[in-house]
Amino acid sequence: MTRARKSMTVMAGISALLVAGCTDPGQLGGTNPNQKAQTGAILGGLVGAGAGAVLSDDKTKGAIIGGVLGAAGGAVYGSYLDRQEAELRQNLDNEDIQITNTGDRLILTMPEDILFNVDSSNISPVLRGDLLTVARSLQDYPDSTVQVVGHTDNTGGADHNQALSERRANAVADVLHEGGVPFNRVQTFGRGEDQPVASNLTEEGRAQNRRVDIVILPNAA
């Protein structure tokens, strides 16, 4: 067997072991509180195995070492996000704020109608308190970069929507800064009407598209 094929076999074996380690019969049909940490281990293991194989003269040994180290790093990231997610869900007393944990990032989605008045970038006084809660969480979990992304529906001109999405992202970031989050941790983006999550043909869909996402990305070690 050639080195390249042997390396691919080892990576496949690592993948199988990682997946097997994340499959707990007791969790089937239920909720696994460590699922995102385990998902992070899988992702980290696969990436680490590939990187280890590329960087090492001994491809097989490099894949094994890279896979183990990558899995450990991925599990740490996943666990970090799991803890922060749980605390945010407990501390944010607002059912309208959606929290999504993908295993490598947290995404807090805030609908426009609870953040702003129509065609405005002034933060609602009610949501200001929630944003300060998010800021405290970001201080408690400092090893991450934060992206604040504004979105609109397609009502009105594209240029107007782009500018509005940028102003709204900056307004949310300003509150995070006021809450103590350093400027160098926060990036702001306006996507205007370019990234809808629902159809703009219905009012319900347009309402879903008008939103601000706060994306929390753990820093690489």
**DSSP conformation letters of 106-175:** EEEEEEHHHH--TT--PPPHHHHHHHHHHHHHHHHS-SEEEEEEEE--SSS-HHHHHHHHHHHHHHHHHH
Return all residues near 128 (Cβ < 8 A) that are at least 6 apart.
175
In a domain, 24, yes or no: no
Question: Could you give the 3-state DSSP secondary structure of residue 197?
Answer: coil
Q: Which residue has the higher pLDDT, 23 or 207?
A: 207
pLDDT greater than 80 at residue 205: yes
Same domain, 124 and 155: yes
Residue range 138-157: mean pLDDT, rounded: 96
In a domain, 1, yes or no: no
In a domain, 6, yes or no: no
Model confidence pTM above 0.75: no
Taking the C-alpha atoms of residue 50 and residue 48, their distance in angstroms, rounded to an integer, is 5
In a domain, 90, yes or no: no
pLDDT band at 93 (very low <50, low <70, confident <90, very high): confident
Same domain, 124 and 160: yes
pLDDT of residue 80: 82
Q: How many folded domains does the chain comprise?
A: 2
pLDDT of residue 42: 54
Q: Which of 58, 84, 110 is the last residue of a domain?
A: 84
Q: Which residue has the higher pLDDT, 32 or 90?
A: 90
Residue range 82-87: mean pLDDT, rounded: 96
Q: Which of 22-36, 50-64, 131-145 has the highest mean pLDDT?
A: 131-145
Same domain, 56 and 121: no
Which domain covers residue 77, as residue numbers?
A: 36-84
pLDDT of residue 79: 84
Same domain, 109 and 196: yes
In a domain, 26, yes or no: no
Strand partners, 107: 100, 215
Q: Residue 147's domain is classified under what CATH number?
A: 3.30.1330.60
Q: Per mean pLDDT, which range of 26-30, 97-101, 161-165, 185-189 is the poorest?
A: 26-30
Residue range 155-182: mean pLDDT, rounded: 97
Same domain, 208 and 106: yes
pLDDT greater than 80 at residue 34: no
Same domain, 71 and 111: no
In a domain, 20, yes or no: no
Same domain, 117 and 186: yes
In a domain, 147, yes or no: yes
Same domain, 212 and 126: yes
In a domain, 89, yes or no: no
Dihedral angle sign, alpha carbons of residues 76, 82, 84, 85: positive
